[in-house]
Homo-oligomer: A and B are copies of this chain.
Amino acid sequence: MPVRALWWEDGRLAFLDQRALPGRVRIVRTRHARTVASAIRTLAVRGAPTIGVAGAYGMVLAQREGRLGAKAAARLLGSTRPTAHDLFVGIATVQRAWESGDDPLAAANAYRDTVVEECHRIGEAGARLFRGSPKVLTHCNAGALATVEWGTALAPIRVAARRGAKPFVWVDETRPLLQGSRLTAWELEQEKIPYVVIADNAAGHFMSRGEVDAVIVGADRIARNGDFANKVGTYEKAVLAREHRIPFYVAAPWSTFDPQARTGASIPVEERDEEEVLRAGGTRVTPRKSRARNPAFDVTPSRFVTAFITPGGVIKPRAVAAALRRRAGRT
């Protein structure tokens, strides 16, 4: 059975609690927008495209609960995490339906279908970049868990594998919350794609030994000029990839592109609770009085990006602005 991060079921939103993975497959079902907001805030539901869809269904639940107006519900769900652009697109999509008297559930379902379909197209568009037996490094989790189905960064690898390629994946563990060693490893197990987990620190070592052929990551928000935010550590891998002349790809659906952001400087970077860094595997590891800083994302300038893999094909960073203008002209 393919991995799905969330789905609609009998008037409820069902989602995998990603904090319990890989040890336990825990499914949560809720009729409450507040529970959805809390799941997004605590990373039970995570990954930019997935939280966009969760936000959309959260709006459906809020409308059915009847306690909040559309604006207040959008505020509740939108205040959970600041960086992923998809969250605001998902919420706004259902808010428009709600305010104009259309069916919120139909809008949320259509939004989900679009995200899933776009991820599938990302896989199709990007697969040709991973022919043969490439060794591909990825950071964080940009698989089905992060995008409802298919994935962004993992989609081209999956499609390439189904077409007969033999990709191997270097999985950055992705401290502090270990989305790589917990989630990406778990997804690759399901897909039987060979991988090994490495400490984030080791990526540069393997690049310097010629053991990385490409890097591919997802994104949380992409500015018009091609600067993008993604899980903290992405920027380090991008700088290292350029140092080693290794292609660096960013895969994302259109909801991740922010036409309002001229450059990366206008992308808000969430700083999360220091406890995530002070602990490892649930155990406090630092001295009692230690403090930590915990930016959840970093911003990588577009000059480090070889290409974006989008539902519309593989495009250079300098082509992002025009692609967004074309899309705006169409809607």
Contacts and interface: CB of A to CB of B under 8 A. Distances in A.
Interface stretch (A71-79, A145-153, A213-221, A290-298): A290-298
A290 to B, nearest CB: 5
Contacts of A199: 175-176, 200, 232-233, 277, 294
Interface stretch (A47-55, A180-188, A310-318): A180-188
A181 B298 contact: no
A228 to B, nearest CB: 13
B292 A182 contact: no
Nearest to A198: B293
Nearest to A235: B204
Contact of A280 (B195, B280, B287): B280
Interface in A246-305: 269, 277-295, 298-299
A18 interface: no
- Copies of this protein in the assembly total 2
Contact of A196 (B181, B201, B232, B291): B291
A281 B280 contact: yes
Nearest to A197: B292
Interface stretch (A1-9, A36-44, A105-113, A236-244): A236-244
Given A201-B174, A204-B239, A293 B196 contact: yes
Given A197-B277, A285-B281, A299-B208, A294 B202 contact: yes
A197 B279 CA distance: 11
Contact of A298 (B178, B204, B235, B288): B204
Contacts of A191: none
A203 B279 contact: no
Contacts of A195: 290
Contacts of A65: none
A240 B233 contact: no
A123 to B, nearest CB: 23
B289 A189 contact: yes
A126 B181 CA distance: 39
A173 interface: yes
A22 B197 contact: no
A31 to B, nearest CB: 32
A268 to B, nearest CB: 13
A205 interface: yes
A174 B243 CA distance: 22
A197 B283 CA distance: 15
A279 B281 contact: yes
B232 A287 contact: no
18 contacts: A22-B287, A174-B201, A181-B277, A181-B278, A181-B286, A196-B292, A196-B293, A197-B291, A198-B294, A201-B231, A202-B293, A202-B294, A203-B236, A204-B235, A204-B236, A204-B298, A208-B298, A281-B283
4 nearest interchain CB pairs? Answer: A201-B233, A281-B283, A281-B281, A280-B281
